[in-house]
Amino acid sequence: MGKYLYAEWIFLFCIYSVIGFIWETAYCSFKERKLVNRGFMKGPFLPIYGSGVCVMLVAAAPFEGNVLLECFSGMICATVLEYVTGELMQHLFKVRYWDYSKEKFNLNGHICLGASLGWFVATFVVNRILQKPVTALMKMFSLTQITIADSVVMGIAVIDFIISFKAAMDLRAILVKMEEARHEMQLMQKRLDVIYAVLAEEVGERYDEFTEGVSGKVAEFADGVSDKFDDFSDDVKRRLEFVRKNVSDISDKIIPDSGKEIMEEIRTLGEKYASVIKEHASFTSLGGTLKKLFIRNIIRSNPSIISDDYYEALEELKKASKNK
């Protein structure tokens, strides 16, 4: 740390955060075959690269002159930083902004051998190619000028980070609500199963045909239902339609005491179904408000974003973001 002053470290952090943004955006744009404004923040600033390079410089300093040890120490420290950052972001936002889970030799999707080797190469590039001209550029300015530049850039970056952090928390809240909506559909699905079972038991032997029809429908509904919200909602819709079409007359005639209560519950379930569908549609619209614009930008800027807890919900949002 003694090689540079505090203000100079901030300057280096800012420079490499911008360089990292340029590299990451170029790489991801080439990979996606379209322009991708890469990163967690809105502006051209990727702190993981700025902090990663600063860590690499500190780690490599004791081995100056030994290229191999410089690169290994930089790689190890930068990899640890990437893992810790990934874990913290997943804990806070319930998503992973980068995902190496499909890569060989990965750890919890946050780091992998390929990415670590990338840090190895980056350490070499920074120490042997970039650092001299960057340092020369920095030395062109006085300490006062560097401090002013640091203050301006970091001030903008902090504001950007606060806005981005808020958007990430809003995304988390939407994922939670979408999961709750899916859970509501599951509960309605199970409750309709109970209603079928109750009616079939009450009807008894006099209406074997009805009983068999209900049993067949229950078995049919239970097959092939996935975890997707649309599958649950379509399934509940079919169940409600079946109940309204086949159960109303029988419930009044055969079980008059409980028939009205059952039909009232079915009516309530129908209203709840419509409410959940409307609410869910508002989550996936991703348009109209600045808040949803920021959320859409987060998803588009991080093509590999993934969530272990809310996988289906996030996939829906990613699909909606592409279609918007």
116 and 233 within one domain: no
Residue 210, pLDDT > 80, answer no
Query: For residue 268, which of 195, 183, 165 has the smallest C-alpha distance?
Result: 195
106 and 216 in a common domain: no
Same structural domain, 266 and 203: yes
- Do the domain assignments include residue 155? no
Residues 136 and 10 in one domain: yes
Residue 311 lies in a domain: no
The residue among 278 and 129 whose pLDDT is bigger is: 129
Q: What is the pLDDT of residue 134?
A: 92
Nearest Cα to Cα of residue 10 among 57, 44, 54, 45: 54
Is residue 14 very low, low, confident or very high in pLDDT (cuts 50, 70, 90)?
A: very high
Handedness of CA 91, 96, 102, 106 (dihedral sign): negative
| Domain contains 68 | yes
Residue 50 in any domain: the answer is: yes
Both 122 and 40 in one domain: the answer is yes
> What confidence score (pLDDT) does residue 227 get?
56
The reply to whether 183 and 270 lie within a common domain is yes
Higher pLDDT, 187 or 200: 187
Give pLDDT tens digits for 33-61: 777 777 788 888 889 899 989 998 998 88
Asked if residue 202 has pLDDT above 70, the reply is: no
pLDDT for the residue 113:
93
The total domain count for the chain is 2
Q: Which of 22-26, 118-122, 148-152, 252-256 has the lowest mean pLDDT?
A: 252-256
**Range of 263's domain?**
173-301+318-323
pLDDT on residue 224 = 40
Mean pLDDT computed over every residue of the chain: 80
Same-domain status, 136 and 181: no
Instruction: Choose the final residue of a domain: 119, 140, 161.
Output: 140
Question: Region 158-168: what's the mean pLDDT?
Answer: 91
* 233 or 152, which is more confident: 152
Place 81 in a pLDDT band, splitting at 50, 70 and 90. Answer: very high
Mean local confidence (pLDDT), 60-64: 88
Q: Is the same domain home to 192 and 286?
A: yes
Give 213-261 pLDDT, tens digit per residue.
Answer: 444 444 444 444 445 677 767 777 777 776 666 665 555 555 555 556 7
Give the mean model confidence (pLDDT) for residues 270-296. Answer: 76
Both tokens assigned to 126: 């920074």
Query: Greater confidence, 10 or 200?
Result: 10
| CA dist., res. 17 & res. 118, Å (int) | 16
b/e string for 286-324 if b means 16 or more Cβ within 10 A? beeeeebebbbbbbbbbeebbbeebebbbebbbebbeee
Do 178 and 133 share a domain, yes or no?
no
- Is the residue at 270 inside a domain? yes
Q: Is residue 165 part of a domain?
A: no
Residue where a domain stops, chosen among 140, 155, 183: 140
- Domain-ending residue, one of 86, 116, 140: 140
What confidence score (pLDDT) does residue 193 get?
Answer: 74
Question: Are 187 and 287 part of one and the same domain?
Answer: yes
- Domain shared by 102 and 212, yes or no: no
**Is residue 149 situated within a structural domain?**
no
Residue 205 lies in a domain: yes
pTM summary value: 0.76
Task: Say if residue 174's pLDDT is above 50.
Answer: yes
pLDDT for 246 equals 60
pLDDT more than 90, % of the chain: 31
Looking at the chain, the whole-number percentage of residues with pLDDT higher than 70 is: 80
CA-CA-CA-CA torsion for 163, 166, 168, 172, nearest 10 degrees?
Answer: -170
Does one domain contain both 186 and 277?
Answer: yes
Give the CB-side neighbour count of residue 200, counting CA atoms within 13 A.
18
